[in-house]
């Protein structure tokens, strides 16, 4: 969500915003040295909102830097807890934080660095626990991830709502930073190869459920490369937020062994699956606690015919054993169901999952809450009918999803126009 509706990422900053009067240096102002930068607009940063995905080694450094520059509102999500191995690479964690949520610990320590900013932790999975409305409400997403699946999801969500995002990956003392600005630049998926898709599929077993036994080795990383790549991410973020030109659709690659740094342009594929963009959604007084039927009733005057709710997260409805008839209701997104669960507890034979990617009006699931069919709070959902589709923002979830940022005047654009480590991807942990 641009801070200024007339400014888009890549626009040059409005130099007329700065007073032409004498420059006064106030040593009591924590940002006084930053204000000396000719294009710096502290007020713009104070009103900005950024989502940081991942609170590992990269995420720690990104959060530290965002706190130092006074980024107004930061949301940080991570599903892991602090482990001893994190302490050698994560500046915000301490030994007595073991077993605690990474997002919550990192948020607390970030707030200690700068009490003037708001930091909202989300202990959860970015794929299943963050609604599309969050991606639409932030000005920028910074990815500090360690696997292709999460990166691909973030990429597709950002493209749907037109939110720029900055990715990074690290390994040993090498790293890469990529800047993506929808809708015109190359995106993360544009550069994916057949091998990338094969590695994604390795995470799932024959019945297409997540395999826990497929785990590449932990990616070795040094704290120095995490600091360097995170600094580059935040520096590019500052340029995006100020409307300065960025190398959108490019990868900045650093080889620490030979101290070589180069930038390469990523190919843009016109047929890329990630390039779907959503129109401006209709904000309705609904939440993910509302039923599917409530949603259908609310959009009845906007779309004709029999209605169907599209599910971005494929839902595992049930598991059934073909041998003995054992049946269990699951009702969780596919990415949250492990292959080990698809074993019949009676005869130990593999069970068959029942999937669905839509909920029809005639389905018994229409009486269920939206959250029960895998819709997270503050999501943007699509309802299809014979006359077309309607996109709905679950506006009643806003305060729950983005906390203090819900009261910000800059939050006016809901919906833009429109455990294995993947070694080759690089880590964010």
Would you state the pLDDT for residue 402?
A: 85
Cis link prior to 277 (omega < 30° from 0)?
no
Tokens 């009702």: give the residue: 331
pLDDT computed for residue 206 by the predictor: 59
DSSP 376: P
- Yes or no: say if 175 and 310 are a contact pair by the CB < 8 Å rule: no
Q: Determine the 3-state secondary structure of 49 from DSSP.
A: strand
Strands of the 174-180 sheet, one edge to the other: 118-123, 73-78, 49-53, 140-143, 165-171, 174-180, 250-255, 260-265
What is residue 278's three-state secondary structure?
A: coil
Contact 70, 29 (CB under 8 A): no
Q: What is the per-residue DSSP string for 227-273?
A: HHHHHHHHHHHHHHHHT----TTEEEEEETTTTEEEEEEPPPPTT-G
**pLDDT lower than 50: segments of the chain:** 1-17, 19, 215-217, 409-425
Residues 15-277: name the CATH superfamily.
Answer: NAD(P)-binding Rossmann-like Domain (3.40.50.720)
Q: 36: burial class by Cβ within 10 Å (0-12, 13-18, 19+)? A: exposed
Residue 414 pLDDT: 35
Q: What are phi and psi of 150, to 5 degrees?
A: -70, -40
**pLDDT at position 200:** 84
Return the exposure string of 348-361: e unless at least 16 CB atoms fall within 10 Å of the residue's CB, then b. eebbebebbebbee
- C-alpha distance from residue 24 to each of 19, 20, 29, 369 (Å): 11, 11, 11, 57
- Contacts of residue 258, defined as CB under 8 A and 6 or more positions apart, other chains included, come to none
Tokens at residue 223, please?
């704290």
The residues with which 38 forms a beta bridge, in sequence order, are none
Largest CA distance in the chain: 83
Q: What is the pLDDT of residue 417?
A: 32
N-to-C CA span, the chain: 27
* Nearest in space to 381 (alpha carbons), one of 394, 372, 368, 371: 394
Q: pTM of the predicted model, to two decimals?
A: 0.88
Q: Looking at the chain, which residues constitute the CATH 3.40.50.720 domain(s)? A: 15-277
């Amino acid at each position: 969500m641009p801070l200024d509706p007339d400014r888009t990422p890549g626009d040059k900053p409005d130099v007329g915003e700065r007073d032409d009067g004498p420059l006064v240096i106030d040593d009591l102002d924590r940002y006084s040295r930053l204000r000396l930068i000719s294009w710096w607009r502290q007020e713009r940063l104070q009103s900005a909102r950024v989502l940081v995905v991942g609170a590992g080694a990269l995420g720690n450094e990104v959060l530290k830097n965002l706190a130092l520059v006074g980024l107004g509102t930061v949301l940080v999500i991570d599903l892991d807890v602090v482990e001893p191995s994190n302490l050698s690479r994560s500046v915000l964690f301490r030994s007595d934080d073991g077993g605690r949520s990474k997002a919550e610990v990192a948020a607390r320590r970030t707030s200690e660095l700068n009490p003037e900013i708001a930091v909202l932790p989300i202990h959860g999975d970015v794929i299943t626990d963050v609604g599309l409305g969050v991606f639409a409400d932030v000005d920028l997403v910074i990815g500090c991830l360690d696997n292709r699946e999460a990166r691909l999801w973030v990429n597709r969500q950002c493209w749907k709502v037109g939110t720029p995002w900055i990715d990074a990956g690290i390994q040993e003392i090498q790293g890469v930073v990529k800047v993506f600005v929808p809708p015109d630049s190359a995106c993360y998926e544009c550069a994916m190869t057949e091998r990338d898709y094969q590695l994604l599929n390795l995470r799932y077993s024959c019945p297409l459920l997540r395999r826990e036994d497929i785990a590449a080795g932990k990616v070795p990383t040094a704290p120095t490369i995490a600091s360097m790549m995170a600094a580059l991410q935040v520096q590019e973020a500052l340029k995006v937020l100020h409307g300065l030109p960025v190398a959108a659709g490019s990868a900045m690659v650093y080889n620490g062994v030979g101290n070589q740094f180069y930038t390469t342009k990523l190919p843009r594929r016109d047929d890329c699956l990630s390039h779907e963009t959503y129109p401006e959604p209709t904000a309705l007084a609904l939440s993910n606690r509302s039923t599917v039927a409530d949603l259908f009733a609310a959009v009845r005057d906007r779309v004709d015919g029999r209605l169907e709710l599209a599910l971005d997260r494929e839902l595992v409805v049930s598991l059934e054993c073909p041998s003995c008839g054992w049946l269990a209701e699951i009702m969780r997104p596919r990415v949250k169901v492990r292959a080990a669960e698809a074993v019949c507890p009676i005869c130990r034979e593999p069970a068959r999952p029942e999937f669905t990617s839509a909920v029809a009006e005639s389905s018994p699931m229409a009486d269920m809450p939206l959250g029960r069919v895998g819709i997270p709070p503050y999501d943007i959902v699509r309802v299809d009918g014979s006359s077309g589709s309607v996109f709905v923002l679950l506006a009643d979830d806003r305060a729950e999803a983005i906390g203090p940022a819900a009261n910000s005047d800059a939050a006016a654009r809901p919906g833009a126009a429109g455990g294995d480590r993947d070694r080759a991807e690089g880590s964010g942990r």
